[in-house]
Structure formats: C-alpha cells, structure tokens
Amino acid sequence: MVTTRVALHISKCELVDFFTLDCLWLQGLLLRAKPDSQIAVVYVHGVDSNFYRSHLPIFVFDYIKAKGVSVFLVNNRGHDPINLLRDNKGNSILSGGNVERFEDCLLDIEGALDRLSGLGYKKFVLMAHSGGSQKVAYYLNNKTDARIVGAVLIAPPDDYKVFKKVLGDKYKKTIRAAKLRIKTSLADKPSDEFLHFKSARRILSLCDTDNFEARVFNLEQGFHEFGGINKKILIILAGNDEHVEGPRQLMLKLKEANESATVKIIKNAKHSFIGYEESVAKEVNKWLLKNALSNICF
C-alpha cells in the first residue's frame, strides 16, 4: 500500500533545487496540490536522514491536497551521515549529519522557503520528524518569519538522553575529548574517536546541554526555548518511542511549557511510525484545518 501510494505521487511531483543563504546547492521534492497553490508544508528530515526516507509527508499530502496545500520535502546540509555538496561556484563541500554545524539549519530552511516564495507560495507550515524537530524549533526561536503560520513536530527526540545512553560509560570521556578537539582546526572533521565517526562539534551539539540541539527537548532542562515559540504547534509523539522515556509525562510538560502547543500520542507507534502513517496524517490534517490554516482563504 505504501509503495503504491508513493508511486502515484512520484508521477505528479517536481524535483526542485535551491541555494541556501550561504550558496550551497540542495534539492527537494515538491508535491504540488494545484498549479496556483500558495500554501505549502515544508518537511525537514531528521539526523543523518534525507527527504525520501520517510513516507510520512506523502501520507500527509494525501489528506491536505484537496485544500490546495502542497508539500515540499527538502534535503538539508545534514542529509545522510556524509555527503558532498556543491556551492554556486562548483566547489565541493564536505557535509552530512556527521559534520554539519547545527546552527546552519537557519540557512537551509530559509533557503527552501525563499525558493518556494519565488514559485508563488506565500504561507508555510514547517513539519519535521525526529531530529528535524530541533532544527524547526531553532528556526522559530531565531527567526521572525511572517510567512510561517505553524509547525508540526513528529517524534522530537531527547538527543541528550539518547546519546548519553548509547555512549554509556564512555560519555564523560567523549565530552572531554570533544571539548579539547573543538579548540583545534579539527573541530569539524569526522573522527573515529567519536560515535558514528562524527566530528567533535557535532558530538557536543547532540550530547552536551550547553547546546540548543541537546537541551531543547530534554525534560530536565525545562523546555525554555520551546516555551518561547510564538507560533501554533502540533507535536505528535509515538506511544512506544524507543528514543523517548515516558511520552505521557513529556506530553504534559510540553503543554505546560507552551500554551500554543497541541500534543497528541499515537498509541503503540514506534519512532518511525511505520504502520501508523495514516494516523499521523489524520492528526496533522485535523490540526491544520483547525489552527494553522483556519484564517487563510483557500
């Protein structure tokens, strides 16, 4: 069923490339609801992933296309563990989830929005899965963008707890080594000294709560940055998420931190929501019509 659904949309999609604000060349897939569509959901993938790995945006498009809402699935510079990007002069730039600078997500997201604006789109909803949620939250914390009418965060992980658990007894040693290395010219180079061959800067961004990416969805940090987002937000949690401890407690804390947030739990779903894509799409559609798109004339 999933394969059939994807195949049907591939014949109607457009491969759209764009430049980030620092002139890196990225690509995305535009599922256009109708030729004159002016509203789009922009999908931001998770850590080490890419725009085509998850089927969630395809399912969401099935529900919202009748309202004239398109979906743009985009790669950011952190797509896949390692990649080579081109800049506007044809130079090759080493990038990927192992070496990206998290803060550069501002350049990627704004570049994607600007590209769609050039195609006639006027309003956007940012949608992210997994570690893409941290990037959307960071964008909303740092940019005053009137084009954004809301955000959907699907299974935002507590990166600090996830990576601390994976590192186990090596956690403190890893953080010390990364803090020493980040002071050198090797700060952004992938290293076998660190988990999954990541760079020192990347390890600290994911594992050290001095960094936004590690702390924004960490329960002990109080969700202060999340509470500062002034857009309407839908968060969808997986009932059996292997990367989150206590989704119900998390739901209550997120609601407490930001009164504009709606939080839903998909019972029994795991982090990837495989087999539960339809449930996610229904929740997104219902929320969009009631909140982010309620004051927009179609």
Q: What is the pTM of this model?
A: 0.94
- What does the buried/exposed string (b/e) look like for 16-31 if buried means 16 or more CB atoms within 10 Å of the residue's CB? bebbbeeebebebbbb
Q: Which residues pair with 126 in a beta bridge?
A: 42, 151
Q: Which has the higher per-residue pLDDT, 60 or 244?
A: 60
Tens digit of each residue's pLDDT (9 = 90 or more) over 203-227:
999 999 999 999 999 988 889 999 9
CATH homologous superfamily, domain 2-158+221-290:
Alpha/Beta hydrolase fold, catalytic domain (3.40.50.1820)
pLDDT at 18 over 70: yes
d(CA 261, CA 251): 10
| CATH 3.40.50.1820 residue ranges for the chain | 2-158+221-290
Residue 10: what are its φ and ψ, rounded to 5°?
-60, -35
Tens digit of each residue's pLDDT (9 = 90 or more) over 49-108:
999 999 999 999 999 999 999 999 999 999 999 999 999 999 999 999 999 999 999 999
